[in-house]
Structure 1
Amino acid sequence: MQFQNIILSISLLAFQASSVAANGRGWCKVKVLYRHNRKEAQATYAEIDKETHWNLDGFPIVIKPDGDCTIKLVSGWVDHETYYFKGETHKVTTYSK
């Protein structure tokens, strides 16, 4: 019985992943890097074409990745002389806050 439940769970995950792919949605891993040494300051995951609310150095910001994981700052303030955004595609299919 346990084995059947595991197979059912795997099947449901595969269905969710294919549904996400069929809808054209995906996720980006968004990194904030220091300009002077390119080390990661913070990172989060953001759904493509959806706004994500985040805190950077205690300041609220809203970011929105596009289909290529290019990150747009929708609102808030970021010191662009200190930090820069880098987005990369990620295979996250479900995410809970």
Structure 2
Amino acid sequence: MHTLIEYRVRPVTRYVLTRFEQVTDGDDESGGSVCLGEFDRADTAFHIGCALARDDDRGGSPAADETKEVKFPDHPDHTDKTVGYELHPF
């Protein structure tokens, strides 16, 4: 009788969609990031991220003393892989 047990490490590619929000009020600054989902395909994560960003962008007009900037996601297949993805400070 012969038993073979083998362990392997294999790469797995997943795409995580995050939402980062930073609020600056004078000298005060706060922010945070939340994971909104994990996807098998870059296209799926990208399209959902665009839809959510579009929803945030349409979310009413800011108050007179407030500005709002919504950054839409970059498609992971169209970024420079040597540099990596943009990291937000949190």
Fold equivalence (TM over 0.5): no
Bigger-Rg structure (1/2): 2
Higher strand share: 1
TM-score by length of 2: 0.28
